[in-house]
Amino acid sequence: MKKHILLILSSFLILAYQPVKAQENIEKKSTETIANDSTKRHGQLTIGGYGEAVYKYNFFSDNMFRYSHASSYAESKGHGRVDLPHAVFMLGYDFGRGWSFNAEIEFEHGGTESAVEVEAEETGEFEKEIERGGEVALEQFWLQKAFWGGKMNIRAGHIVVPVGGTNNAHLPNEFFGVYRPEGENTIIPCTWHETGIEIWGRIKGWRYDVMVMPGLNSSMFDVSGWIHNGSASPYEFKVANKLAVAARVDNYSIPGLRIGISGYVGNSFQNDVITDEHTTRYKDVRGTVAIGALDFSYKHNGLILRGNGLYGYLADAAMISSYNASLSNSNQSPYPHTLVGSSAWTAGGEVGFDFFSIAKGNAKLANQKFYLFARYEYYDSYIPAPMLTDYQWSDRHCVSGGINYRPIPEITVKAEAGVRLLKPQYNDEPWVAVGITWAAFFKHHSSK
């Protein structure tokens, strides 16, 4: 235990003094803000991004049977891990006359290091080699036309879906934790991105979004993550047999306060290339997914408050669970084959105070911040339909606290300790983590 604490403290001290330089204040302009400012720029190229490097130690077992045989893992020593949760690079360009472009490529957990090699010592056989897991995704790729000074914009391409607090604010300087808030990140896609068309704009103290996109795929829903994997596609294309609508409204009328409401609705059943067209058992199943969410943030004199709540409902959950169990279970099958809840929900909040804001006259601390924060979150990823098995380990409370040190606006060093509290028949899951994050724009170049 002492060894792990010393390692954590040493890592934090090393990370805290890394000299990193950037050109723009990421607090004032996120990547989305830069992309949305196209009415003010002409012929301008923007390059930027964000990322995180993390060390975490879990004082509990990660074994797949830790809930079904909880007593067998009560004395687990735990394990440590290093991770690159996200490394995102952004490219934006303003063509002028209201036309702009934006693209983001995201490497999750270090990307995917896989290849096919010819092994000479094995008489020239081809062998697939995987050095490291992870994912690579095109998170955004869209064209946009602005009208009336940005009061209305039409955007088409691959877009972040504006549902929930985390999808709306997912840069590492927009939350205190070493990792993104757990509740929304568990039960809905996060960061959720789809190919579709969006209309958005800002009028005085209001901002609005309406987006049309392909529906989710209920065959990818599961017991531990509800609809989280429903936006994934195992194919080289996204099936769009069903369409869905997402909408969001934010208000900024009160200085320092932003309040947003968002929602989603769309059918999900048989939104796949594999469908059952020869039986009448599922003919009335729609699998409608409906989500409603509220989130807010408030900043004043060094104090930051953030909160969110989200509730989701899945129609025909029992029939979908039965159908998913009947899908192909071959080794190459992408389907989870688990039950899925008829609903899921999460609520949480965090509060932090910048103690350097007290020393306003100290020139050395003028551009630095030191937040002490606390966070609480509750979520349940599986509220079963009648007659389905109730897995009570999906009901969780998460409590954590720590610090954020920001030596310059673009860099944040984080340290956090927390515990995931489960029902009494299961083992609680304490952990500690440290990380360093960046969010910046490397270059702004105007051709005019």
Q: Using 50, 70 and 90 to split pLDDT, how confident is the model at 317?
A: very high
**What φ, ψ does residue 300 adopt, rounded to 5°?**
-160, 120
Cα Dmax for the chain:
75
Distance of CA 336 to the CA centre of its chain: 21
- What pLDDT does 320 receive? 95
Q: 3-25 pLDDT, tens per residue?
A: 444 443 344 333 333 333 333 34
Specify the DSSP class assigned to residue 226.
B
Of 206, 212, 202, 209, residue with least CA distance to 156: 212
| Type and span of the H or E element at 171 | none
Please give the single-letter amino acid code of residue 83: D
Mean pLDDT of the chain: 87
Asked whether 371 and 352 are in contact (CB, 8 A), the reply is yes
Least confident range of 136-140, 142-146, 154-158, 191-195: 136-140
**Range 74-83 burial, b when 16+ CB lie within 10 A, else e:** eebeeeeeeb
Q: 268-310 pLDDT, tens per residue?
A: 999 988 776 667 788 899 999 999 999 999 999 999 999 999 9
- What pLDDT does 31 receive? 40
Q: Domains in the chain and their CATH numbers? A: 2-446 (2.40.160.10)
Beta strands in 275-394 (DSSP E): 288-300, 303-314, 343-354, 369-383
Match 């060093």 to its residue by tokens. 413
What number is the average pLDDT over the span 47-70? 95
The two tokens of residue 265 are: 């609705």
DSSP β-ladder status, 113-119 and 125-132:
antiparallel
Least confident range of 115-119, 377-381, 388-392: 115-119
- The percent of residues above 90 in pLDDT, for the chain, comes to 71
Of 309, 260, 321, residue with least CA distance to 285: 321
Asked whether 178 and 433 are in contact (CB, 8 A), the reply is yes
Q: Using 50, 70 and 90 to split pLDDT, how confident is the model at 446?
A: low
Of 350, 344, 341, 342, residue with least CA distance to 308: 350
